Amino acid sequence: MNDALRIFACNSNRALAGEICEHLGMRLSPVDISRFSNDNLRVQILDNVRERDVFVVQSFTEPVSEHIMELLITLDALRSASARRVTAVIPYYSYARSDKKDAPRISITGRLIADMLATAGANRVLTMDLHADQVHGFFSVPVDHLTAIPTIAEHFRQHYDLSRMVAVATDAGGAKRVGRFSERLGIPMAIIDKRRVSDTDVKQGRVVGEVAGLDAVIFEDEISTGGTLLATIDTLRAAGARSIHAGAVHAVLCGPAIERLRNAPIESIVVTDTVHVPPAKRLDKITQLTVAPLFAAAIERIHSGESVGALFG
């Protein structure tokens, strides 16, 4: 497998790519990403990929446009170098939030980026916990859609008393995701009535379900500015929750998120490493779990032609 398989990483999350390679017992293949004097990106593949099965790891994190361009140019370079098959491994696909036309004269950018990946040379995509499941259908190439719900659920199973715990969806749109999480743990769930005022501000109403006297676990696909999380904490405290925790797959933590979470009355926040969290953003209350074993298993199964879905059977 090591001879036929190559794994490369662009600059957004090289730590995760390195862990994936460790689990597979192989090295991360070298790639040189630099700039010309006019600020154009330059990518050179420094390993033989002719007729190899190639995977490129890159999350769409800040600076997002920079990281997308790195991935597109890398995919094109690998295609030009005669790679047999190229898989774009995108642990965090941020443009999955741009999945619908909810205002006049805007782009459904999730679909645009999917088209760009295929045009650049991606033969398939491997990603995790898309914000909207329908984004899967935007791609014209095969997509393997992993989930970190079992990983996060197992952490709560091992460290908390589930007999007094309830899973909370921050709005109706997240109910299906939270339902899978609560079913995994065998705990009840509640839903909060939410209205989004702007990109960073939300307005919440009442809680649908019982949370009084219980340990509430807010479950989301991502934490970006933390605005929704803070509003949910206030709503749950007013509803009489005994303690409040949070679980999220993608720790984007942009803008005022860290200051908001540092001062928030929340006991713990559990996230994964789909997004690289720098030391300045690592609060004591944040626990980061690794999804490297899951991505490594998926890559091995894709390479050998086995079922990826069987990982969650």
Is residue 21 domain-shared with residue 117, that is, in the same domain?
yes
Pair (72, 185) in one structural domain: no
Q: Does residue 245 carry a pLDDT above 60?
A: yes
* 27: nearest Cα among 17, 39, 37, 41: 17
User: What percentage of the chain carries pLDDT values higher than 90?
Assistant: 91
Do residues 90 and 168 share a domain?
no
- Do 143 and 153 belong together in one domain? no
Residue count (the chain)? 313
Please report the pLDDT score of residue 203 as a whole number.
61
CATH number, domain of 68, equals: 3.40.50.2020
- How many helices (H) and strands (E) would you count in the chain? 8, 14
Of the candidates 244, 252, 247, which has an alpha carbon nearest to the alpha carbon of residue 270?
A: 247
Can you tell me the mean pLDDT for 158-171?
A: 96
Query: How far is residue 306 CA from its own chain's centroid?
Result: 23
Overall domain count for the chain: 2
101 belongs to the catalytic site: no
Cα–Cα distance measured from residue 310 to residue 313, given in angstroms and rounded to the nearest whole number: 5
Query: Which pLDDT belongs to residue 51?
Result: 96
At 41 the pLDDT is 97
Mean pLDDT confidence for 270-293: 96
Summarize the confidence of residues 132-144 as an average pLDDT.
94
Instruction: Identify the active-site residue in 101, 194, 203, 285.
Output: 194
In terms of domains, do 232 and 300 share one? no
Helix or strand run (H / E) with residue 114? helix 109-120
Alpha-helical (H) ranges within 121-267 are: 149-159, 175-185, 227-238, 257-263
CA angle centred on 194, ends 213 and 274, rounded to 5°: 85
Residue 199, pLDDT score: 58
- Which secondary structure element, helix H or strand E, spans residue 253, and what is its range? none
Task: Please indicate, yes or no, whether residues 51 and 123 belong to a single structural domain of this protein.
Answer: yes
The domain in which residue 275 lies consists of 149-289
